[in-house]
């Protein structure tokens, strides 16, 4: 047990899928896993462990933002001996070339967050995903005939911005989209010698102003979910 996870060590699989929304974790367990059981509900952060095609997997929410992902991914890696975490989340596109429900596999997370510096003194603004894990996801996407964009994204500390220079982030730093968790996940994986990846579904577009509903974000990201699950087999 940790301050934020009540599960016993043996109740959590070596591979964890982490949506931000705990209700999406519940949706995945109920619709994709067999013999699943609730293993965490501290602070409402629901976690379930079950089997996908015979493979043991845990699905658990991370909450919103770098600090929340930082806490849960660190505890899973450090204290529960989790080897691999795949974030499955939503993002806002920075370019009109991306449509709603398009898939992005993050290869680099760009952030000006101080999380990594506060955590262990890392001063860089870019952290990479685990290449070996990304390669598996890309290969599986090809097998499933899924189009997936591999890209650098912007990991932000702020959702509501008084000024939002997304065009600069796209044009100068090559960030195709924005989300709020990958930087902490990748950093924790890097310092603890673990594997981490982040698959995103475009839920809104800052250029075209298109957006999905809260219900769609909770239950309609099935292509991303299936890709993540198939990639762990």
81 belongs to the catalytic site:
no
Report strand pairing: 55-60 vs 15-18: parallel
Instruction: Please give the distance of CA 169 from its chain centroid, rounded to a whole number.
Output: 20
DSSP label of 70: H
Given a contact cutoff of 8 angstroms between Cβ atoms, the answer to whether 211 and 204 are in contact is: yes
Bridge partners, 109 (sequence order) = 127, 153
> How many Å apart are CA 189 and CA 130, to the nearest integer?
8
Sequence-separated (6 or more) residues with CB below 8 Å from residue 138: 105, 148, 150
**Residue in 11, 83, 157, 204 annotated catalytic:** 204
Beta strands in the chain (DSSP E): 15-18, 34-40, 47-52, 55-60, 84-93, 103-110, 126-128, 149-155, 175-179, 195-205
What is the set of active-site residues? 204
């Amino acid at each position: 047990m940790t301050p934020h996870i009540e599960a016993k060590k043996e109740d959590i699989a070596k591979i964890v899928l982490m949506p931000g929304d705990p209700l999406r974790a519940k949706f995945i367990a109920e619709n994709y896993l067999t013999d699943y059981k609730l293993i965490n509900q501290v602070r409402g952060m629901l976690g379930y462990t079950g089997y996908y095609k015979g493979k043991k997997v845990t699905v658990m929410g991370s909450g919103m933002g770098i600090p929340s992902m930082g806490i849960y991914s660190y505890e899973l890696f450090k204290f529960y001996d989790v080897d691999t975490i795949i974030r499955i989340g939503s993002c806002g596109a920075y370019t009109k070339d991306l449509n709603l429900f398009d898939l992005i596999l993050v290869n680099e997370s760009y952030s000006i967050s101080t999380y990594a510096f506060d955590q262990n003194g890392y001063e860089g603004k870019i952290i990479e995903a685990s290449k070996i894990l990304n390669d598996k996801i890309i290969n599986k996407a090809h097998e499933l005939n899924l189009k997936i964009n591999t890209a650098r994204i912007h990991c932000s500390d702020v959702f509501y911005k008084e000024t939002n220079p997304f065009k600069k982030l796209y044009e100068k730093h090559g960030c195709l989209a924005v989300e709020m968790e990958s930087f902490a996940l990748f950093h924790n994986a890097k310092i603890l010698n673990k594997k981490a990846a982040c698959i995103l579904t475009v839920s809104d577009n800052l250029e075209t102003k298109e957006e999905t509903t809260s219900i769609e974000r909770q239950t309609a990201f099935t292509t991303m979910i299936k890709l993540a699950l198939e990639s762990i087999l």
